[in-house]
């Protein structure tokens, strides 16, 4: 017999279908709730709402588990290859050798941006935030390819490769523009991460030699950010996509959602916090005290998560990698010691323990990005490059599901009852 949940409202009882996901997660189907009772479910911030069924990423926040298409993220650590992970997320399976080669060729063929687009960069002021430029330029991509189609597998693969490849070029150009540096064209002989580093740091008269350690570290960072099921930016991509908006427009909206300091922007906020402590402006103990004081408006950035009530597995990997990466790069970073001190204080403080607040992905990622020479204002852009496969995969999964309707939440109205219009002359 199929399982149901029973709801009684104003003496009327209804049965709501119950279903299970492949890892045993239980969902109560309330799609007929309003039709049957006249009431709606109230769940601001969607903490208890499943907005879709998805086969892409699995998270168990209580156990600290994150899997891409069933594979634990820890298994990608020793042989990181961001493009393989991107194909896994987007296509649902790891690519065979010839699929990888074909996709790589598509990435290379799509690495450039239209020359006309290069002039768009001129319109931004020097201080323009890179996330604003990134979002605007991704949206502008559609203007240069208005007939793009994703209906056949071939077309979709080309669109996905185009977006993955061009976002890297746009991100590097954003940095070059804000520093008054000449744009460097992509090099077809370099792999995904190496090519990005080349476009960021080479000069026309001096080529940047991509160190394998830096390329490997970047690969790892991108992989760990590649998807995270229905977070704020991914939900944004799906909401925009549900109106049948194109892939570029949907992803461009995702970039805006990611920008906020409670989401992807936290990696910048963490480094600013650590730097402030390092420069003596704030003691770690004082930082913890302020974070516990709600009236301070201060949060321990890089701590806490809506879903993880245990260590964020991405933070665990990054914490372990920090020492390794810094040693390989021959660097020391006092901010790492400060981060460790803050973590130790927080994990022994009842405020954080009781609320199950642990370090999240942003707590340690900045230290690795900094060691690689990535400037602070590009940190959230790096998150966006990493998240691109996830956004594309989620957009595609929704696009292919013919049962999907436009996202349109309801509300509980709390404003005036029926009120008459008062002409200006009679208003007090």
Residues lying near ligand CMC in the complex (CB under 6 A) are found at 228, 231, 262-264, 266, 291, 299-306, 355, 357, 360-362
3-class secondary structure, 38: coil
Shortest approach of ligand CMC to residue 359 CB, angstroms? 9
CA pair distance 368, 38, nearest whole angstrom: 52
- Nearest Cα to Cα of residue 70 among 83, 84, 49, 56: 56
Structure tokens at 227: 């998807």
Closest CB to ligand CMC among 254 and 302?
302
Q: How many angstroms separate the Cα of 135 from the Cα of each of 79, 231, 255?
A: 31, 18, 6
- Nearest Cα to Cα of residue 404 among 242, 250, 249: 242
Closest CB to ligand CMC among 104 and 263?
263
Shortest approach of ligand CMC to residue 370 CB, angstroms? 17
Nearest residue (beta carbon) to ligand CMC: 304
Shortest approach of ligand CMC to residue 237 CB, angstroms? 14
- If you ran DSSP here, which 8-state letter would residue 94 be given? P
Verify whether residue 305 is a known catalytic residue. Answer: yes
In the chain the first and final C-alpha atoms are separated, in Å, by 65
Closest CB to ligand CMC among 37 and 310?
310
| CB 319 within 8 Å of CB 366 | no
* Selected catalytic residue, list 225, 333, 362, 399: 362
Tell me, rounded to whole angstroms, the distance of Cα 200 from its chain centroid: 21
Shortest approach of ligand CMC to residue 204 CB, angstroms? 37
- Nearest Cα to Cα of residue 306 among 41, 27, 21, 49: 49
Q: Which residues of 187-211 are buried (b: 16+ CB within 10 A; e: fewer)?
A: beebbbbbbbbbbbbbeeeeebebe
Closest CB to ligand CMC among 194 and 304?
304
Verify whether residue 293 is a known catalytic residue. Answer: no
Shortest approach of ligand CMC to residue 362 CB, angstroms? 5
CA pair distance 375, 268, nearest whole angstrom: 10
* Selected catalytic residue, list 120, 228, 305, 399: 305
Shortest approach of ligand CMC to residue 300 CB, angstroms? 4
User: Half-sphere exposure of 121 toward its Cβ, with a 13 Å CA cutoff?
Assistant: 23
| Catalytic residue set | 305, 362
């Amino acid at each position: 017999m199929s399982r149901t949940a029973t709801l009684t409202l104003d003496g009327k009882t209804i049965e709501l279908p119950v279903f299970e996901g492949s890892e045993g997660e239980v969902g109560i189907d309330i799609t007929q709730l309003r039709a049957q009772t006249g009431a709606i479910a109230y769940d601001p911030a969607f903490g208890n709402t499943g907005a879709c069924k998805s086969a892409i990423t699995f998270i168990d926040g209580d156990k600290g588990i994150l899997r891409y298409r069933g594979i634990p993220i820890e298994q990608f650590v020793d042989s990181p290859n961001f493009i393989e992970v991107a194909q896994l997320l987007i296509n649902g399976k790891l690519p065979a050798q010839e699929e990888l080669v074909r996709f790589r060729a598509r990435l290379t063929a799509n690495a450039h941006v239209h020359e006309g687009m290069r002039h768009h960069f001129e319109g931004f002021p020097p201080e323009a935030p890179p996330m604003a430029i990134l979002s605007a330029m991704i949206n502008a991509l559609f203007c240069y390819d208005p007939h793009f189609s994703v209906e056949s597998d071939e077309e979709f693969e080309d669109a996905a490769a185009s977006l993955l490849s061009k976002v890297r070029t746009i991100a590097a150009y954003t940095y070059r523009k804000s520093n008054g540096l000449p744009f460097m064209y992509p090099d077809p002989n370099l792999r995904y991460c190496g090519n990005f580093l080349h476009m960021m740091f080479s000069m026309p008269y001096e080529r940047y030699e991509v160190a394998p350690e830096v390329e490997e570290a970047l690969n790892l960072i991108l992989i760990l950010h590649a998807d995270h099921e229905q977070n704020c930016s991914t939900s944004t991509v799906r909401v925009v996509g549900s109106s049948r908006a194109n892939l570029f427009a949907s992803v461009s909206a995702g970039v805006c959602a990611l920008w906020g300091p409670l989401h992807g922007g936290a990696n910048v906020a963490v480094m600013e916090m650590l730097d402030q402590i390092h420069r003596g402006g704030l003691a770690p103990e004082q930082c913890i005290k302020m974070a516990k004081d709600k009236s301070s408006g201060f949060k321990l950035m890089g701590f806490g998560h809506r879903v993880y009530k245990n260590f964020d597995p991405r933070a665990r990997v990054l914490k372990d990698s920090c020492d390794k990466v810094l040693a390989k790069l021959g660097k020391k970073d006092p901010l790492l010691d400060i981060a460790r001190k803050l973590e130790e204080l927080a994990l022994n403080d009842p405020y954080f323990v009781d609320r199950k607040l642990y370090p999240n992905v942003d707590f340690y990622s900045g230290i690795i990005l900094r060691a690689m020479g990535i400037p602070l204002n590009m940190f959230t852009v790096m998150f966006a490059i990493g998240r691109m496969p996830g956004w594309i995969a989620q957009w595609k999964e929704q696009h292919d599901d013919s049962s999907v309707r436009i996202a349109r939440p309801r509300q509980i109205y709390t404003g005036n009852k029926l009120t008459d219009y008062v002409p200006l002359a009679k208003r007090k």
